[in-house]
């Protein structure tokens, strides 16, 4: 992967057993687990479905979500440049 390769994991890439044809669109997987998994897989970005955001905000707060994303993306960038 070159420094230009910046792959984004869409919301469905990490959502697990979730589907757009269900009444509840939320992922059954914890947000932290999803972010860490896509980072470990080499993605540099993370998509989140709007239905997942309210529950994540209650659990982590917006600052916590931002920190998880920044930490995981930074770790991924550090691995790819070594």
Distance (Å, whole) CA 44 – CA 20: 24
Predicted confidence (pLDDT) per residue in 57-76, tens digit = 999 999 999 999 888 876 55
The reported pLDDT for the residue numbered 2 is 56
> What confidence score (pLDDT) does residue 3 get?
57
Which pLDDT score is estimated for 34?
A: 93
- CA–CA dist 32, 61 (Å, integer): 12
Residue partners of 39: CB distance under 8 A and separation at least 6: 46, 72, 73, 75, 76
Residue spans per domain, the chain? 8-81
Whether 78 has a pLDDT exceeding 50, the answer reads no
pLDDT in tens, 24-45: 989 999 999 999 999 898 888 8
Whole-prediction pTM value?
Answer: 0.78
């Amino acid at each position: 992967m070159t420094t230009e390769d910046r792959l984004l994991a869409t919301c469905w890439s990490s959502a697990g057993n979730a589907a757009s044809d269900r009444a509840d669109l939320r992922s059954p997987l914890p947000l932290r687990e999803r972010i860490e998994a896509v980072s470990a897989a080499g993605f540099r970005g993370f998509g989140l479905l709007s239905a997942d955001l309210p529950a994540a905000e209650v659990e982590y707060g917006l600052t916590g979500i931002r920190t998880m994303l920044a930490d995981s993306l930074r770790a991924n960038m550090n691995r790819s440049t070594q």
